[in-house]
């Protein structure tokens, strides 16, 4: 197996893992991995269980591809996240149930739980709505990700990035977990939020979290 084949296999495995974790279904959502000169992304309109590695699409920084499949309709925001954020090695987008529920209300996630700091700040923003696949949506996502590694997308879903595919997958699972917890808290009333000083301490602690 060539290095390119291995990377395409890893992208497909991550996409399938999203479905197995219950945070993505059918042909919704997409996954990408940064590679030299561009990125590899899942194809448009294909169920991951029916895909093979060669169905994954290598896209150049200018949006062109030579592969046999068409890339995800959302390839623009993958490209733009990589251009804007040097630390992004992989991007995951899903229509997970609880993230999408909050996003359809235009809600971000405030500091109701300290794990919000995992995404780089004291909250998770909700990007403004724009039609899927457009440059307007990509611009809104990049803005909402400023100093963050995750955001919700109004009337759409969520997007996260990580240093690699495993990290991006973990980010997506953690964000959906927090969205579910926040949704459940809202059923009981307004949550008590952690103060800014405490969130600043937690953010500082997360800067070295998990590093051996």
pLDDT tens digit sequence for 3-60: 668 999 999 999 999 999 999 888 889 999 999 999 999 999 999 999 999 999 999 9
Nearest-angstrom CA–CA distance, 178 and 98: 9
Distance, in Å, from the CA atom of 23 to the CA atom of 173, rounded to the nearest integer, reads 7
Residues 6+ positions from 184 with CB-CB distance below 8 Å? none
Average pLDDT, the chain: 94
pLDDT at 27: 81
Asked if 57 and 35 count as a contact pair (C-beta separation under 8 A), the reply is no
- pLDDT at residue 212, rounded to an integer: 45
Catalytic residue list: 74
Share of the chain above pLDDT 90, in %: 88
Instruction: Give CA separation, 155 vs 22, 28, 107, 135, in Å.
Output: 19, 14, 10, 17
| Cα–Cα nearest to 42, from 53, 56, 54 | 56
- From edge to edge, which strands make up the β-sheet containing 126-127? 57-60, 38-41, 30-35, 90-94, 157-162, 150-153, 126-127
Separation of alpha carbons 50 and 70, rounded Å: 15
C-alpha to C-alpha distance for 83 and 75, rounded to whole angstroms: 12
Please, what are the domains in the chain? 3-206 (3.40.225.10)
Model confidence band, residue 1 (pLDDT cutoffs 50, 70, 90): low
Dihedral through CA 112, CA 117, CA 122, CA 128, nearest 10? -90
Reduced to 3 states, what is the DSSP secondary structure of residue 13? helix
């Amino acid at each position: 197996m060539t290095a390119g084949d291995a990377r395409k296999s890893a992208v497909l495995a991550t996409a399938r893992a999203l479905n197995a974790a219950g945070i993505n279904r059918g042909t919704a959502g997409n996954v990408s991995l940064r590679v030299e000169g561009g990125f590899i992304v899942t194809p448009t309109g294909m169920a991951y269980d029916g895909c093979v590695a060669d169905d994954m699409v290598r896209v150049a920084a200018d949006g062109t591809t030579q592969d046999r499949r068409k890339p995800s309709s959302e390839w623009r925001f993958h490209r733009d996240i990589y251009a804007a954020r040097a630390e992004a090695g992989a991007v995951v987008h899903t229509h997970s149930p609880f993230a999408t529920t909050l996003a359809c209300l235009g809600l971000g996630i405030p500091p109701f739980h300290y794990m919000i700091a995992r995404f780089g700040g004291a909250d998770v923003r909700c990007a403004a709505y724009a039609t899927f696949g457009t440059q307007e949506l990509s611009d809104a996502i990049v803005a909402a990700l400023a100093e963050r590694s995750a955001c919700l997308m109004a009337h759409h879903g969520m997007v996260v990035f990580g240093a690699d595919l495993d990290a991006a997958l973990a980010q997506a699972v953690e964000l959906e977990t927090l969205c579910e917890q926040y949704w459940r808290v809202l059923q009981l009333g307004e949550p008590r939020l952690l103060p800014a000083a405490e969130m600043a301490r937690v953010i500082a602690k997360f800067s070295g979290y998990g590093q051996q």
